[in-house]
Structure 1
């Protein structure tokens, strides 16, 4: 009955989105804690559970999908930033491939060939 489906949906209240739990990298969580957030976004971060992962951590956040999308939109400035800060990167000379240095052979080494 296609003619009745539109009327039924107009009177039905919107179904709330169920919360979803996602793990957020600690560096992203740190960035978001310093950002200006809406009240709902701030509550979601404040109620997150810290899970230790090696040297860093992960923040397990429960929020409606719309809340996660809003947090993700706030992270857009992080796109394109290096994962390792410049001051902690190895010097360019240690990152480039170079031929290994060869020590000069002595007469004794040459005689055994």
Structure 2
């Protein structure tokens, strides 16, 4: 039985197709990503771990390890989780308060190179 995943998420619609993406913190390299997984932010684990829903144990070596905030397509989530964990990489949900819908939307727009809306027009 697949357990319910409580992570920040964003729905992405292109034309008539839409996908639901969930936000996670990982130390896995991009070469382990599923085809639809997107990297929103990359930095040392000491920086990215602050976006995790649960505290991440850090020592001086692990703090310098490369980490990413990623969006994982819900249809590939079980596969992506298994692949990262099989390679013994951190894969933990992002904090829904720190990485909420507005943050995900901002980073996703930045990632695909679209212009940002003026804040007062965002909810027009």
Tell me the TM-score range normalised by the shorter chain. 0.3 to 0.5
* More strand, by proportion: 2
TM-score if structure 1 supplies the norm length? 0.35
Q: Whose relative contact order is higher, 1 or 2, with alpha carbons under 8 Å and at least 6 apart?
A: 2
TM-score if structure 2 supplies the norm length? 0.33
